[in-house]
Amino acid sequence: MLSQSKQQRLVNLFSSTGATKICRTLAVTHFLQTDPSLDECDQLIKSGLSVGATLRRSGFAISKATFTETTLLSGPTFYELTNREVAIGTRLRAQVYALNVCCNEQTLPYAIIAEAYHPDHNPVAHPKASMNALQRRTVEDVLSSLRATAQGTHLLLT
């Protein structure tokens, strides 16, 4: 995990070759209000565990729907996170999507997630979703945070 606030978390999802970690996905997650039945999972996720894996392990089904897809340019931060594999100025595929949880026989919004991908990583495609005004502001916010981090000049390691 790179950094965390009450509503947002920035993570470096990586693969390892020996002691070398190479970022495959840089993600900014904006957490939404949750159903009380998700409280235990929510605490585990916000402490650093994987969103999808933690929810699934607890018996919840999840669904994802893409709000927008775009490209970002990598900067010094992404260059360092990829163990200097991805040159500064490389175009990175990015997307912002809604992650929903099936809970108590209803589908509940859980998070809005922005992800930028290593050029060799091909993420799974999700169905498209439309946005309301509040979601649009959140999408713009997480995408702006992701862009600033991917293109940033320093690591946000804590």
> Which of residues 48 and 6 earns the better pLDDT score?
48
Contacting residues for 127 by C-beta, under 8 A, at least 6 apart? 65, 66
pLDDT exceeds 90 at position 139: yes
Contact 79, 90 (CB under 8 A): no
**CB of 14 closer than 8 Å to CB of 23:** yes
Contact call for residues 98 and 112 (beta carbons, < 8 A): yes
Q: Looking at the predicted structure, is the pLDDT value of residue 7 above 70?
A: yes
* pLDDT, tens only, 15-73: 887 888 888 999 999 999 778 889 999 999 988 888 999 999 999 999 999 999 999 99
With a cut of 60, say whether residue 154 has pLDDT above it.
no
pLDDT at 153 over 80: no
The model's pLDDT over 111-131, given as tens digits with 9 standing for 90+, comes to 999 999 999 998 888 999 999
Helix (H) or strand (E) segment spanning residue 143: helix 133-150
